[in-house]
Every structure is written in C-alpha cells, then in structure tokens.
Amino acid sequence: MSESRLSNRVALITGASRGIGAAVAERFAAEGAHVILAARTVGGLEEVDDRVRAKGGTATLVPVDLMDFDKIDQLGQSIFERFGRLDILVGNAAMLGDLSPVSHYAPKTWEKVFALNVTANYRLIRSLDRLLRGSDAGRAMFVTSGVARSPVAYFGAYAASKAALEMMVRMYAREVALSPLKVNLLDPGVVRTKMRAHGFPGEDPMIHPAPEEITDRFVELAEPACQVHGEVVSV
C-alpha cells in the first residue's frame, strides 16, 4: 500500500471492468479502500480483482447491468447488510451511443444512453443516499464530460445525457449541503479509453493520458478531508 489515504473506506465504483473505472478502483484499493466493483463484464471484473489482490488490496465483485434498475436497489440492500455504510460512490459507468445528427437518432439508442448515463445514476443516489449519510465522511462523485457544457456536433445523446447528469448531481449536492456528505462532478478530460477511440476513430490514442494517469483527482475528492462540494472538478 502507498499512503493509505483511503484506509478502511468502502468504495463502490461503477463501470469498473475497464478504462477509468478500473483504474480508479485499482488506485482506491492501493490507497487502502475496500472496493466494490460493479460492471456487466464478469471477465473484466475478475481481471481488475486479480490486479487489486496482487497488490494487497481487497475487492467485492458485483456483476450487474445498471439498466436493470431493480438490481440497483438490491445492491444498496446488499451493501447495507455487509458493511452498514458506504463511504465513497464513483458513478462512472456510461455509454456513448451512436454518433448521429439529433434528427436521425434511433429512439431506442437515445433511451438507452439516458437510461445508463442519467437514470441509473438517479437510482444509485436513491438507493445509496442513506448509506452515504451513514458514513462519517461520505463522498460521491459522478464522471461528466466537457460536451455537457460545450456542444460537439453528432454527440447528441451523450452530451445531452451528461448535461442532465450535471444538473441532477448539482441539485443533489444542494439537498445534502447541511450533511457531512460531499457530492461533486468530475470531468477527466480526454483520456485514452475505448469510448474515446469509438468517438474519434482516426485519432492517435497515444497523445492522450492513460486512465491510470488521471486518478489523483478521484482520490482527492474521495478523502475524508475533502471539503469540495457541489462543483464540477477537472483533472
């Protein structure tokens, strides 16, 4: 372990089987947290778990489709029964959807993007709020994107969903302002992920930082000492 800045904290990370979610999970574990890894891909979760345990960390694997919203309620109950609290929530799981003019977007794809990027995070808040408040220093952060504030053509569903996410999280932050819980949005910028490659297929991915290079800010927002609240924080 390194500085153990998250010693004995319980952290749930969604979209933890690859990319930013996997990198954050491994970093949190290295900082002393017990990480709950949530994602659809069992093989990916097991690979992250192997890396966490190889470095002396601990993890709980939760194979789950976050668009099966009832499973999110079950997840909250399971965390309560096992840990009695949740110290850190990282709402990272997201879907880009198709790159298309808004007028051409397939309704089913649009609805799926909003289901994962917005509604699943609302259901996480609904299910986990009491657990986060049960922590002495609850910390919740949700991964956003610059396109929520600076429109990029053909990113319609993704950009609109991230804008909706930002407003929802900012409202939640105001609603818990008198509690110890700190709630923020985190914009990691351009990172070398599969989602970025899908959106910009002709781009050289090596010009961007790898996910493990941008985890410092996640740790800062997760620490019990953090006093940042209701902000959009950039890496």
Residues identified as active-site = 158
Residue type, 3: E
Joined together, the tokens standing for residue 115 give 């289901």
- Residue 99: name the closest of 27, 60, 153, 32 by CA: 153
Q: How many helices (H) and strands (E) does the chain have?
A: 8, 7
Cα angle for residues 190, 193, 198 (degrees, 5° grid): 95
Residue in 174, 119, 166 with CA at minimum distance from that of residue 146: 166
Alpha-carbon gap, residue 225 to 98, rounded angstroms: 40
User: What per-residue string of b and e applies to 86-99 under the rule 16 or more CB within 10 Å gives b?
Assistant: bbbbbbbbbbbbbb
Angle at which helices 156-175 and 107-114 pack, to 10 degrees?
30
CB atoms within 10 A of CB 8: 9
C-alpha torsion 147→159→16→232, nearest 10: 50
Exposure letters 60-72 (e unless 16+ CB within 10 A, then b): bbbbbebbebebb
